[in-house]
A and B are shown apart, each in its own frame.
Chain A
């Protein structure tokens, strides 16, 4: 089944509340996905710097070994490193050589990404989602169908800088797409079908497509059921398959655009009573971009 949520803020005064609002939306979607949960938040970023989100059970010695130029924040099983972008090869190289137990699950100027097995409300609490601020975020509650209940299989998936995707549905041609994408240099960390969709979009974006164009192309190349919510550094987009197999509802006001698998997920948002509530049409790309 799975539940997905997304929130894209237009009004900067709401940014300190992004995490609280997203945590509320995620918890309501527990009925649709109690196995595991995850979310990506686009927070503050600075020119010339990069954030890496790491997942592991033991971060002892990592900050000390990486040196003073690398700032770090530990949240439960995840650690976010923040450092000069020019230092990326050195940091990634050190991690690969010395700490193969640690996985890099997200990278970019602004993205931070967290996911774990467990009830959505517990996952949100463990990572302190309610205290996070940002411009936009996406979240996912998983009821596994295509692969095992593991942290690796939890969403969001990130296969490019500041990009992430959450997926409700299942893809039937993910094996052949994977064989097409791997020689193009798109790397996958799991066997999950949704990661292939993320990789496909990363490939299209790398080849110069806009987010809307990449999603448009996916309608021809992806086979299966899907509702996607996608985040980029400045963008937020929604796409449903041509027979709208999986549910979706959206709300838009002057202050935000919100997505939920069900309307219930949106009832805690400010001014929802006055929002324009609508169901996104099948096979139509909905995209918003920050200036």
Chain B
């Protein structure tokens, strides 16, 4: 197993080594030591390998990830798994703002809390947060699923399009055009699969579902005050 110590190796060298891997590489399990909050660690991966980061990561860790599994054994800074396409990112601590922002696919699991704007403009990613999320999460969310075992902050799902939001705890307030929706069998099934994939210990019936009221899709003068 390759071990890269960032106290000795430059971050760009690490990322270059990871970017040089071929799809059929035998070096499928990497460990990164002494990350010390550096930015853009393991960003832009495009092969099915596992990268463990032994500590806290800075901004945009595992950004643009495709296929790879990235495990952060500490906290992650702003924009973890930003624009992820596929694969899995697992944050064992807390995540800062804009976790999973604009991401098209893959699974982001956060064992702790995520702060403001979690899943902002999400476009197909599945996010499971075992703690709570900050204000303005899922702002303009377009597709994908956000599951929160704890509470959600102010203005959840403001100007949401079609993403599905499941929250077990309290929602401080819903944003414009976001409403509570009926939990049907298909939603229970989806939620159950995601909880299982994330290793989250929670019952499907403890959650409530939120989504778009679809009132702001097209401009209508009667809705002007809601924008």
A263 with B134, Cβ < 8 A, contacts A243-B116, A247-B96, A279-B115 known: no
Q: Which of B36, B37, B59, B135 has the most chain A CB atoms closer than 10 A to its own CB? A: B37
Shortest Cβ distance from B76 into A: residue: A263
**A contact residues around B96 at 8 Å (CB):** 247, 249, 279
Select which of B37, B116, B136 is within 8 A of A263 by beta carbon.
Answer: B37
B111 at the A/B interface (Cβ < 8 Å)?
no
User: Once the chains bind, are A277 and B115 in contact (CB under 8 Å)?
Assistant: no
Select which of B55, B78, B134 is within 8 A of A247 by beta carbon.
Answer: B78
B75 at the A/B interface (Cβ < 8 Å)?
yes
User: Once the chains bind, are B136 and A243 in contact (CB under 8 Å)?
Assistant: yes
User: Once the chains bind, are A263 and B56 in contact (CB under 8 Å)?
Assistant: yes
**B contact residues around A44 at 8 Å (CB):** none
A189 at the A/B interface (Cβ < 8 Å)?
no
Shortest Cβ distance from A265 into B: residue: B37
> A279 vs B134: C-alpha distance in the bound complex, in angstroms?
11
**B contact residues around A252 at 8 Å (CB):** none
User: Once the chains bind, are A264 and B135 in contact (CB under 8 Å)?
Assistant: no
User: Once the chains bind, are A277 and B134 in contact (CB under 8 Å)?
Assistant: no
Question: For chain A residues 243-261, which have a beta carbon within 8 Å of chain B?
Answer: 243-244, 247, 249
CB distance from B137 to the nearest CB of A (A): 12
CB distance from B27 to the nearest CB of A (A): 28
**A contact residues around B175 at 8 Å (CB):** none
User: Once the chains bind, are A264 and B58 in contact (CB under 8 Å)?
Assistant: yes
Select which of A262, A264, A266, A281 is within 8 A of B134 by beta carbon.
Answer: A281
B63 at the A/B interface (Cβ < 8 Å)?
no
B38 at the A/B interface (Cβ < 8 Å)?
yes
CB distance from B143 to the nearest CB of A (A): 24
A278 at the A/B interface (Cβ < 8 Å)?
yes
Question: For chain B residues 5-62, which have a beta carbon within 8 Å of chain A?
Answer: 36-39, 55-56, 58-59
Question: For chain B residues 133-178, which have a beta carbon within 8 Å of chain A?
Answer: 134-136
**B contact residues around A278 at 8 Å (CB):** 94
Select which of B37, B55, B134 is within 8 A of A244 by beta carbon.
Answer: B134
**A contact residues around B37 at 8 Å (CB):** 262-264, 266-267
**B contact residues around A267 at 8 Å (CB):** 36-37
Number of interface residues of A (CB under 8 A): 15
> A191 vs B78: C-alpha distance in the bound complex, in angstroms?
32
CB distance from A31 to the nearest CB of B (A): 9
**B contact residues around A264 at 8 Å (CB):** 36-39, 58
> A279 vs B37: C-alpha distance in the bound complex, in angstroms?
14
User: Once the chains bind, are B56 and A277 in contact (CB under 8 Å)?
Assistant: yes
Binary per-residue interface labels of chain A (260-287) against chain B in the complex, 1 for a CB within 8 Å, 0 otherwise: 0011101100000100011101100000
Shortest Cβ distance from A264 into B: residue: B37
CB distance from B153 to the nearest CB of A (A): 8
> A264 vs B77: C-alpha distance in the bound complex, in angstroms?
10
Binary per-residue interface labels of chain B (80-107) against chain A in the complex, 1 for a CB within 8 Å, 0 otherwise: 0000000000000110110000000000
**A contact residues around B74 at 8 Å (CB):** 277
**A contact residues around B36 at 8 Å (CB):** 264, 267
Binary per-residue interface labels of chain B (56-73) against chain A in the complex, 1 for a CB within 8 Å, 0 otherwise: 101100000000000000
A262 with B56, Cβ < 8 A, contacts A243-B116, A279-B94, A282-B116 known: no
22 A-B pairs, CB-CB below 8 angstroms? A243-B116, A243-B135, A244-B115, A247-B77, A247-B78, A247-B96, A247-B97, A249-B96, A262-B77, A263-B37, A263-B56, A263-B58, A264-B37, A264-B38, A264-B39, A266-B37, A267-B36, A267-B37, A277-B75, A277-B93, A282-B116, A282-B134
14 new A-B contacts at CB < 8 Å, known A244-B116, A244-B134, A277-B94: A243-B135, A243-B136, A244-B135, A263-B37, A263-B56, A263-B58, A264-B37, A266-B37, A267-B36, A277-B56, A277-B75, A279-B115, A281-B115, A282-B116
Which B residues lie at the A interface, using CB under 8 A? 36-39, 55-56, 58-59, 74-75, 77-78, 93-94, 96-97, 115-116, 134-136
